[in-house]
Amino acid sequence: MKTVFTYTQPPNPPSTQNNNSRVGDEPDAETRRNALLALVELSQTLGVSVSPNDGDTGHGLTRAQLQRALATLLRATGDYATDKRGDVGSWCRQAALKGLAALLALLPPAAPAPAPKDGQTAPPSSPSSLLRVGGAVRAAGYGRGTLVDLRCEGRVACVRFAPGQPGAFFFPYQHGTGLFPAAAVVPCGDDAPGSPASPPVIGSETEPAAEAEPLVDGALFARVVAAALQQLCEKLDVVRECAGAVLLDLLTLPSPPLPPLPDRPLLEAALLPPSPSPSPAERTSLYKAGNPAVIFPRVVQLLGSSGCYHRAVVAGMLISIGGLSESVVKAALGAMVEWAQAQRRGEAGVARVGRTVLEVLDAHAGEDRVVLPALRTVDLFVQKGVWLEADLFAGPTGEPGPEGGGSLAAGLLARVKRELQGCKDVKKLLACLSVAVHLLEPLPLSSSPSPQSVDDGDGDGGAMRLLMVLLGHRFPRVRKACAEQLYTRLLLHGDQLLAHATVPEAQDEVLECLAATCWDTGDLAGVREARDRVCRLMGIAPPAAASAGAAAGAGVLSGSGRGSKPKKEDELASYAALVKEMGY
Amino acid sequence: MRDTSSSHHIPLKTNTTTAPSERLQARVVDKYLGAVLADDNVAVTRGFTLALGALPARLLRPSVDAILAALDEMARPDRCVGLGIVHGWADGRA
């Protein structure tokens, strides 16, 4: 009896039946990480063509494919996705960093293949991928022949030598066919094997030096290093450790296949271990566990380097300093303060950091992941003296600010205002508030005390008006914090800040009003009345009046002076009153 | 007489550079690519994505560009799995 087995395809693949694990149309960090791992493994399997040209030889990745893989990995270093498990994007960032180092390590050495026995200098490159079956090739020491076949994934060349060539004597069988490592065979320009014009002389072949564009240019390499540097400065220990190891790898890769790196001596001095040839144990211990106390003092040295590294370091430090983990914040801020003190001689370095901070805030406008730590960092910078008053309010920062403001303070104020537009996040509001308090600048006495003159939105008028808006904010916590911070600031510097006030004893009255009013009460109208009184005392038009004019941001923030707002305000006010009444 | 045995003589090996048959290609590479790009089960996309990277060179070579494009697509920071089915997961949870 014969049994017949039949195999029928199930009607649906299992994946569509198991409904519990279906999360279609959702991002999946593990898939992204696996794609990066696969990309690297694939590249390692195929290798990279020795040929720097675009010609597809069927072996290894071509230039375009390599560039594409590198671009994919570089993009993945900016993967900051989070879900309920936390910073899952960090898996992708780590995979991408390791992958970049692995891919750059794959670059074929530009060094010549080992010379044949006669000691003649070998050809400058061994472009085995240029080899074409049927084409004319030359094997050093054996003369010219025809490439019959490529074997072992292109590593072995099978060459048939024409009669009369030296190779034909060495390989008498199979019509003068010999096997060579592909690296020892170079293609000839003309397709006439054994042309009589060039009589073969053993060991006398010379090759024209084929100067070609490198597979990876210096700018791309610098971008890779900058991406790793940024990760080295960020807040997760495990990512810093990974980035440190990758940077050590990148900086110790042989230089000939890799292009020269901008500011390489500076990078090496800052990042490599002190001994010239570190042992593996030394290398692993240097960045072990991403120790912030080790890493940040090293990294800040790179703040003086060229554009891309500087930007990467600043962007990373902003995240770290404004972060929440105590050890990282302390180490990063400490390193930054020390660096700034060392820079005091020439102010250029500190001002440059300021410009870069503005750039980062512009590049990530509206992204709380970056903006919130950056605002906290700015606050800490001013508190700890990384930026002094002179830095904040110095005239033009050297380049025209994107939003017209000349000084760093004006630039920061413009960013703070932009971030406050429609913001309902108390943490962010408070961070903006602390920055705005630092941006208060005493107006010069010569300026007109008329309230309308400070309507341009920059300088002290802008910062003080912003604070007045926050003093009348819908959220009680914001109002209270604003009153407290303003009180402290006016107590310390009131004589300068209120120099232009209309009332002589303005400072005392303002302080009294700030202290006497209960700012976190539910009575919004009463609070706003008190706020308007403060404004009048300081000689500033109350924001409600200003919002009817051109200052749109202030109007949105205060929510007053608009026809559509009052109803909502009443709701909120009553809700706040309810909460207060119920004792929550 | 030169000694040619040390460096330049390599024993003959079977030829491994021929392209895979169409059937093999369809059953492995194309199937994996389809699963990676279109399946909405994360376990499937995770596994097949890794499997694409682990293929031997012989299978990779004819379709490097397609595989690179798929991996590039899947590695996008904003990529969602199983873009073909938009509301499938909601049905599954109901």
- B74 contacts on A by Cβ (under 8 Å): 31-32, 34-35
- Return the SS3 of A536: helix
What per-residue confidence (pLDDT) applies to A43?
92
Residue A29 buriedness (CB in 10 A; 0-12 / 13-18 / 19+): buried
Per-residue pLDDT for A54 more than 60?
no
Contacts of A7 (CB under 8 A, 6+ apart): none
- A69 contacts on B by Cβ (under 8 Å): 68
Average the pLDDT over A538-562 and give the result: 49
- A75 contacts on B by Cβ (under 8 Å): 75-77
In chain B, the percentage of residues whose pLDDT exceeds 90 is 17
Output the CA torsion sign for A415, A421, A426, A430: positive
What per-residue confidence (pLDDT) applies to A475?
86
End-to-end C-alpha distance for chain A, whole angstroms: 83
Q: Which of A63, A38, A36, A32 is nearest to A50 (CA)?
A: A63
Among A65, A76, A178, select the one facing B64 at the smallest CB separation. Answer: A65
Among B35, B77, B84, select the one facing A89 at the smallest CB separation. Answer: B77
Q: How far is B27 from chain A (nearest CA, A)?
A: 14
Asked if the Cβ–Cβ distance from A179 to B9 is below 8 Å, we say: yes
Contact A413, A462 (CB under 8 A): yes
Asked if the Cβ–Cβ distance from B82 to A24 is below 8 Å, we say: yes
Per-residue pLDDT for A51 more than 50?
yes
d(CA A292, CA A294): 5
Res. A305 pLDDT band, cuts 50 70 90: confident
Across chain A, mean pLDDT equals: 74
Question: Which runs of consecutive H residues, i.e. helices, occur in B17-87?
Answer: 22-25, 31-38, 42-53, 57-60, 64-74
d(CA A574, CA A580): 10
- B82 contacts on A by Cβ (under 8 Å): 22, 24-25
As beta bridge partners, residue A137 has A145, A187
pLDDT tens per residue, range A443-497: 544 343 443 333 344 445 678 888 888 888 888 888 888 888 888 888 887 666 7
Q: How far is B25 from chain A (nearest CA, A)?
A: 16
Structural element, H or E, at residue A74: helix A63-76
pLDDT tens per residue, range B42-66: 899 999 999 999 999 888 888 888 8
Tell me if chain A has a CB within 8 Å of the CB of B94.
no
Which of A58-72, A145-159, B50-64 bottoms out in mean pLDDT, i.e. has the lowest?
A145-159
Q: What is the DSSP string of A270-337?
A: HHS-SSSS--HHHHHHHTGGG-HHHHHHHHGGGGGS-HHHHHHHHHHHHHHHTSS-HHHHHHHHHHHH
Residue of B31, B49, B80 to mutate for A, most A C-beta atoms under 10 A:
B49
What per-residue confidence (pLDDT) applies to A396?
52
Distances in whole angstroms, Cα of residue A575 to Cα of each of A157, A472, A524: 83, 17, 12
What per-residue confidence (pLDDT) applies to A121?
38
Residue of B28, B42, B65 to mutate for A, most A C-beta atoms under 10 A:
B42
Per-residue pLDDT for A348 more than 50?
yes
Average the pLDDT over A222-231 and give the result: 92
Higher per-residue confidence, B6 vs A422:
A422
Per-residue pLDDT for A92 more than 70?
yes
Output the CA torsion sign for A229, A235, A238, A239: negative
Distances in whole angstroms, Cα of residue A162 to Cα of each of A168, A187, A447, B9: 6, 15, 94, 19
pLDDT tens per residue, range A161-220: 877 777 777 777 777 788 887 777 777 754 444 434 344 444 434 344 444 567 788 888
What per-residue confidence (pLDDT) applies to A276?
64
Contacts of A547 (CB under 8 A, 6+ apart): A554, A555, A556, A558, A560, A561, A562
The residue assigned the tokens 């012989």 is B58
For A420-430, b where at least 16 C-beta lie within 10 A, e where not — what string? beebeeeebbb
Per-residue pLDDT for A24 more than 70?
no
Average the pLDDT over A242-257 and give the result: 85
Res. A38 pLDDT band, cuts 50 70 90: very high
Sequence letter at residue A113:
A
ipTM for this model: 0.75
Contact A276, A241 (CB under 8 A): no
pTM of the model: 0.68
Q: How far is B26 from chain A (nearest CA, A)?
A: 16
What per-residue confidence (pLDDT) applies to A27?
85
Higher per-residue confidence, A333 vs B9:
A333
Higher per-residue confidence, A2 vs A181:
A181
Per-residue pLDDT for A227 more than 90?
yes
Q: How many CB pairs under 8 A join A and B?
A: 186
What per-residue confidence (pLDDT) applies to A579?
60
Res. A243 pLDDT band, cuts 50 70 90: very high
Per-residue pLDDT for A346 more than 70?
no
Per-residue pLDDT for A278 more than 50?
yes
Per residue, the 3-state secondary structure of A385-424, as one string, reads CCCCHHHHHCCCCCCCCCCCCCCHHHHHHHHHHHHHCCCC
d(CA A420, CA B76): 30
Res. A367 pLDDT band, cuts 50 70 90: confident
Q: Which of A313, A132, A30, A555 is nearest to B43 (CA)?
A: A30
What per-residue confidence (pLDDT) applies to A548?
37
Residue of B8, B18, B79 to mutate for A, most A C-beta atoms under 10 A:
B8
pLDDT tens per residue, range B2-21: 444 444 545 444 445 567 78
